[in-house]
Structure 1
Amino acid sequence: MKKLNLSLAALAVAGAFAMPAQAAVLLGAKVGADAWYADAKVNDVRADDASVQPSYYAAFEHFIPLVPNAKIRYTGVESAKYDVDFTQYDLIAYYEILDNDLISFDIGLNLQKFDGRFTGRSFDEWQPAVYSDVRLGIPATPVSLFGTFSFGSYDDTSTVDAEAGVLFTLGLVAADLNFKAGYRVQDYDFNYFGANDGKFYNDGFFGGVEFNF
């Protein structure tokens, strides 16, 4: 609980400093979809049954100071070998700390929802996490580097969900079309099934598209 309280305090401070960046945006939105070719490791044993796992997200940004922006992401996770099949919803409230052509930086809180089966057992749980997202533009090119990170530790369950990659932007009339490629890792230690029986690691390359309005 202390870690969560510190995260809330840090977010409040971040919101105060984010006012100029927030004010620079009237209304904006992002929608995207990724195809993630991932292979799981369950309780420290590699499954070797890689499959394409989908991820979709949408974000809404506004001009109101101190009120966070909102993002929702869906990820379908599976490993047929170990009867793992669950959905992950990330419900994110975040502030823009920086937003320009060279760098954008967001920070916030992520309420993660897990629902499905893990090694044949049903579970339906919520977990809080700290969220951050950064994009670094390469000057005089349409190429950017990006990284997204969520970390949570609460009630003996820990979650790490991180991705990094390259983004190519094609400017359209009403929006930017972004093509993405990168690597994503989920490293979870679920405490819902007893000691040393809820370790889940999922990693692999992904590709995707994003519309930035």
Structure 2
Amino acid sequence: MTLNRFAYLPVLGACLMMPAHADTLLGLYAGAQGWDTSADGGFANSSDVTEFSLSDETLGTFYLALEHPVPLLPNLKVRSMKLDNTGNATLSDSFEFGGEVYPANTMLNTQMEIDAIDYILYYELFDNDIVSFDFGLNAKDVDGFISVADAADPSLEASQVFSGIVPLVYGKLEVGMPLTGWGLLAEGNFLSIDDSTLYDYQAAVTYRMLDNLAVDLTLQLGYRAFVLELDDLDNTYTDLRFKGPYAGLEVHF
């Protein structure tokens, strides 16, 4: 399946025709998260994906969201994260990647640099101190670079780049505990089409550390999982999984 950068933008635009229940006040949200990930999986230039032993990394996520009272116009959230990783594998069979063929028993080192930016259009279907529920669509812009090199001879190196916009269903649920400052958060994106599957979800306990007319400050402690199974995106096939606990801060102006 080939995913290009523009094929799904009309679908996102169709969201503009849905009814909205926006906040009565303009709100700007800014957040940052530190994510302690363990990773596993692999990649190839064909559906026969080779597994690599991948490193544990601490990754960062940053986002901005704008909510407004304009009827019919969706709210907007932009989120950015990097999925950089390194690893290695001893080949049990021959492996072709980036125009190079590596024979069985070769030890390969790999380096991955994957950037993902979410462009989320959503509506607040419920919005009060007890329950808040958002629903919409997400265009996840994925840009990746993967290289491999023979551990015994690093000059035998090959690489592959891939990019595309993947459309996802988006949802977010927040449940508050009045008068305590504590709450629960669940947020996720999902797509499954042909042989490609992508999901990105997180669940957290939240605590509002600061709450006044000027600014709110909320702490998040939770767990996040990201799965990237791509089928022929720029001749790249992946089966990559990142998961682990995270901590975050969100500021609401």
Partner of 2:232: 192
TM-score (norm 2): 0.73
RCO higher in 1 or 2 (8 Å CA, sep ≥ 6)?
2
Instruction: Give runs of aligned pairs for residues 94-133 of structure 1, distance below 5 A.
Output: 94-118=122-146, 120-133=159-172
Question: Which amino acid in 2 is paired with 1:104?
Answer: S
CA RMSD in angstroms, aligned pairs only: 2.6
Kindly indicate which of the two structures has a greater share of residues assigned to helix: 1
Partner of 1:176: 216
TM-score (norm 1): 0.86
Q: Which string of whole-angstrom CA distances, capped at 9 and with x for unpartnered residues, describes residues 94-115 of structure 1?
A: 0000000001000000000111
Instruction: Give runs of aligned pairs for residues 52-71 of structure 1, distance below 5 A.
Output: 52-71=58-77
2:173 to 134, 139, 156: 134
Partner of 1:33: 32
Q: Which string of whole-angstrom CA distances, capped at 9 and with x for unpartnered residues, describes residues 164-188 of structure 1?
A: 0111102145110011111000112
CA contact (8 A) 1:108 1:132 kept: yes
How far residue 91 of structure 1 moved from its aligned partner, in angstroms, is 0.3
- When Rg is computed on C-alpha atoms for both structures, the one with the higher figure is 2
Partner of 1:75: 81
How far residue 154 of structure 1 moved from its aligned partner, in angstroms, is 4.0
How far residue 42 of structure 1 moved from its aligned partner, in angstroms, is 1.5
Question: Which amino acid in 2 is paired with 1:59?
Answer: A
Partners of 1:68 and 1:196 lie apart in 2 by 33
- CA 1:46–1:204 in structure 2 vs 1: closer, same or farther (change >3 Å)? farther
- Are 2:251 and 1:211 aligned? yes
How far residue 140 of structure 1 moved from its aligned partner, in angstroms, is 2.6
Partners of 1:58 and 1:47 lie apart in 2 by 34
Partners of 2:207 and 2:218 lie apart in 1 by 6
Partners of 1:166 and 1:160 lie apart in 2 by 21
CA contact (8 A) 1:35 1:207 kept: yes
Q: How many residues align?
A: 203
Partners of 1:30 and 1:179 lie apart in 2 by 13
* Identity value in percent: 30
CA contact (8 A) 2:80 2:117 kept: yes
Q: After superposing the two structures, state which structure 1 stretch, 166-175 or 34-43, moved more.
A: 166-175
Q: After superposing the two structures, state which structure 1 stretch, 57-66 or 111-120, moved more.
A: 111-120
CA contact (8 A) 1:39 1:203 kept: yes
CA contact (8 A) 2:227 2:241 kept: yes
Task: Please state whether the residue corresponding to 1:26 is helix, strand or coil.
Answer: coil
Task: Please state whether the residue corresponding to 1:199 is helix, strand or coil.
Answer: strand
Q: Which string of whole-angstrom CA distances, capped at 9 and with x for unpartnered residues, describes residues 69-109 of structure 1?
A: 00000011022114221110000000000000001000000
